[in-house]
Structure 1
Amino acid sequence: MTHRYKVREIAQQAGLSEATVDRVLHDRPGVRENTRAEVQQAITDLDKQRTQLKLNGRKFLFDVVMQTPARFSTEFRSALEAELPMLSPAVVRCRFHLRETESVPRMVEDLTRIAAKGSHGVIVKAPDDPDVVATIDHLVEVGIPVVTYVTDVPDSKRSSYVGIDNRAAGATAAYLVDSWLADGDAAVLIVSTSNIFRNEGEREMGFRSTLRALGSERGTAGRRVVEITDSEGLDETVELLVEHALAEHDRLEAVYSIGGGNTGAVRAFERLGRRCRVFVGHDLDSDNRRLLRSGSVSAILHHDLRADARLACRILMQEGGGVGGVEGERSPIQILTRFNAPHSSH
C-alpha cells in the first residue's frame, strides 16, 4: 500500500527497522500491538512536523471586532496577545476594533471596512442580526473566514463558534442560585445587557427553564424572576435599574448577572440597605475578581480566555491552509468562588 511518507522516514522517526515498519503498513501478521502503536505515533509526529514546516515563514493578520464593555475586551485582548507567541513558527498579528456601545450599524461598518482592506480572518463578538449575517457572509465570500466568539451568529457562513454553551451556563447559574437560597420564596433578579446578543437570550432561557424545573421537583411553581435589560453592562446604568427594581419588589434577594455591570448592582443593594444573599455573574474580569474577594459576588462562571484565543486563531489558520485537524468545541464552564479564583484570569 502507498503511504504519504517513505518507509525510511517512518522507520527513522519510530526507531524501528524498515522491515518492521513495512510489515505494519501492510498489516502483516507477527507484529506486536505496541510496535504498531509506535509506528502510528511516528506517523502522527511526522504529520505535526510537516504542519510546523508549512507554518514556517507564514504570516497571518487577524482582526478582532467586539462590542462589549472594556473590562471584558481588555481581558480577552491580554489573553490573545499572551497566546500569539505560542502559535509559532507562524507569525500572527492582530488588529483590534473594540467598542463599548452596542450598535448593529457600527458593527456592520467595522466588518465592511475589514472586507475592503483585507484580512486573513476575523474573530467577532457581534449581535445576531440579519444585517450582521449578511456582512459576515460577504466577508466569507471575499475570502476572509470568520469565527464568532462568546455569542454566535449561527445563520451566517462563519467557520465556527468559540465559547461556552450559553444555555448550559444559564442552567448552571440557576442551580447555584436555587441551591444557595434553599427554602423560602426569595425572588431572583436577572440583569442583562440587551436583547441583541444571542448568548444573553440563551443564558436567560437556560436559567428560567432550570429554575422552573427545580421548583417543580419541590412541588412548587418555582421562584419569581424579575428582569432588567438595556443596561449595556455599564455600572452607572445597572445601578439605577437595580435600584428601581428593588424599590418595586421587596423579595429580591438574589442576582443572576448575564451581561455585567456587577459593581453597579452591588452598590444598588448597599445603597438601599438590602441584602443580596446570592450573586452569580460571568467572566473573571478585574471588577468581578475584586467583588469575589470581598464576598459581594458568590460565584463567577468563567472560561479559559487563552484557550479560546488559541482555538479561534487555529481555526482561522486552518481556513488559510496553515494547519489541519482543528475542530471547534465548547469551552468548559468554570465555577469560581473567592476560594478558588486565580489572581489572573489568564
Structure 2
Amino acid sequence: MSRPFLAKDIALQAGVSLATVDRVLNGREGVRQHTVRRVEQAIRELGQQRAQVGIVGRKFILDLVMEAPVRFSDAVRSALETEMPALHPAVFRCRHHLSEKRTAADTVSLLDAIRRRGSNGVLLKAPDVAEIVSAVDRLVREGIPVVALVTDLPNSRRHAYVGVDNRAAGETAAYLIGEWLGSRRADVLVTLSSSRFRGEEEREIGFRRVLRERYPSIDVVEVSEGYGIDGATGDLVHAALRRNPGIAAVYSAGGGNAAIVQAFAEMRRPCHVFIGHDLDADNLVLLRSRRISAVLHHDLRQDMRSACIHVMQAQGALPKSVMSAPSNVSVITPFNMPAAPV
C-alpha cells in the first residue's frame, strides 16, 4: 500500500496503533480485515481533509453566460446561488451575463471580454457553432476552464458538460407520448427553441428514433427558432396548428409552454398529451392545473454543484476524479411535484 501520509497521522485518524498501521501499509499478516478497511478509510479521510485545507478561503470568480428564456436563466441562477455557500471553505462569486436571445458574434465578444478581464471559470449555455467553439478554445488556452451547461459543445476544449442526457430525455418523451396516446391516431408537435443548440437537437434525435422504432404511426411536425420566448413560440404554434389539423400532442423540447397551451386553447384544439422540460415556476402552474401531462426534470442544484467542483478541479484546488455522468431524467406529474421549484 502507498504511504501518502505519515504512519502516526494514519494511526491517529484510524484509532489504531502505529504498529498496526505499519503492518497494513507493508502488507503483513496478522491484521483483521475490518481493521485493514479502517486504515484504508482513514487514508481517504486524510486525503479529503488535505483537499479542504487547500481550498480554505480560496476565492473563485465565475462567469455565468447563458442564452435562454428568463424563466430558465432565473432557475439556473437560483440553483447556483443556493449551492455556492455549500462549497465552503471555498468562496464563490458569480458574474451574470444572461440574455434571452444573443447573436453568435455577441456571445463571442462577451467570451473574449471575459478572457481579457480574467475569470476562474465560465459556465456556458450557448449554441454549438464554430465561432463560439473557437472562443471557448481561446478561454481554455488562457487557463480559464469552461463548463458547458444543459447543451454541450463537444468539439470544443471545454472542461466538462453538466446537464441532462438529452438523447435519453427525448427517448423518454417519445415513450410517454406513444404509450399515453395508445391507439389514438395523432401527430405530435415538437417545439425547439433553436436548432443551433446541440442539446435540443439531441432531444429530437432520441425522440424521433423511439417513435420510428416503437410508434411508427405517429408523425412529427417540428417548429423552431422561437427561442423559448412566449410571443414568438406562440406565433409559430398557431401557424403549425393551422397547417396541420392532425396535431393533438406536444413535445416541448425548448420551452414557451404557457404560450403553446394558450395557442391550443385559442384555436379550440385538443392536446391529449403534453410533455415539457424543466420544473420552473411556469411549468409548476401548468402541471397543477393539468394543462400539461408531465415534465422531464433534472436536479439543477446538483448540476450547479458539479459545475463548481469541475472548476475547482480544473484550477488544481481539488484532485481530479472520474468524469461525472449526465444527470438522470425524472418524470414529474401532477402527483409527484415537489413543494417548490428545485
TM-score scaled by length of structure 1: 0.97
Structure 1 match to 2:279: 284
Aligned-pair identity in percent equals 49
Structure 2 match to 1:340: 336
**1:219-275 deviation digits (Å, cap 9, x = unpaired):** xx3311111111111111122211121122222110000100000000011111111
Q: CA deviation at 1:321?
A: 1.0
- Taking a change above 3 Å as real, the CA distance of residues 2 and 289 of structure 1, as seen in their structure-2 partners, is closer
Measured in 2, the distance between the counterparts of 1:76 and 1:131 equals: 25
Q: Does 1:323 align with 2:323?
A: no
Measured in 1, the distance between the counterparts of 2:128 and 2:79 equals: 25
Residue type of the alignment partner of 2:317: G
Does the Cα contact within 8 Å between 1:213 and 1:222 map onto a contact in 2?
Answer: no
Q: Does 1:127 align with 2:127?
A: yes
Structure 1 match to 2:80: 80
- Taking a change above 3 Å as real, the CA distance of residues 198 and 2 of structure 1, as seen in their structure-2 partners, is closer
Structure 1 match to 2:26: 26
Structure 2 match to 1:154: 154
Show structure 1 runs of 5+ residues with no match: 216-220
Q: Secondary structure at the match of 1:273?
A: coil
Measured in 1, the distance between the counterparts of 2:105 and 2:195 equals: 16
Residue type of the alignment partner of 2:289: S
Q: Secondary structure at the match of 2:206?
A: helix
Map residues 174-323 of structure 1 onto 2, 5 A cutoff. 174-215=174-215, 221-323=216-318
Measured in 2, the distance between the counterparts of 1:136 and 1:121 equals: 11
Does the Cα contact within 8 Å between 1:76 and 1:305 map onto a contact in 2?
Answer: yes
Structure 1 match to 2:15: 15
**1:301-329 deviation digits (Å, cap 9, x = unpaired):** 11101100000000001111111144332
Measured in 1, the distance between the counterparts of 2:299 and 2:341 equals: 7
**Equivalent residues, number:** 341
Q: Secondary structure at the match of 2:292?
A: coil
Q: CA deviation at 1:169?
A: 0.5
Structure 2 match to 1:101: 101
Measured in 2, the distance between the counterparts of 1:200 and 1:343 equals: 28
Residue type of the alignment partner of 2:338: P
Measured in 2, the distance between the counterparts of 1:303 and 1:18 equals: 47
Measured in 2, the distance between the counterparts of 1:302 and 1:264 equals: 20
Show structure 2 runs of 5+ residues with no match: none
TM-score scaled by length of structure 2: 0.98
Q: Secondary structure at the match of 1:64?
A: strand
Q: Secondary structure at the match of 1:116?
A: helix
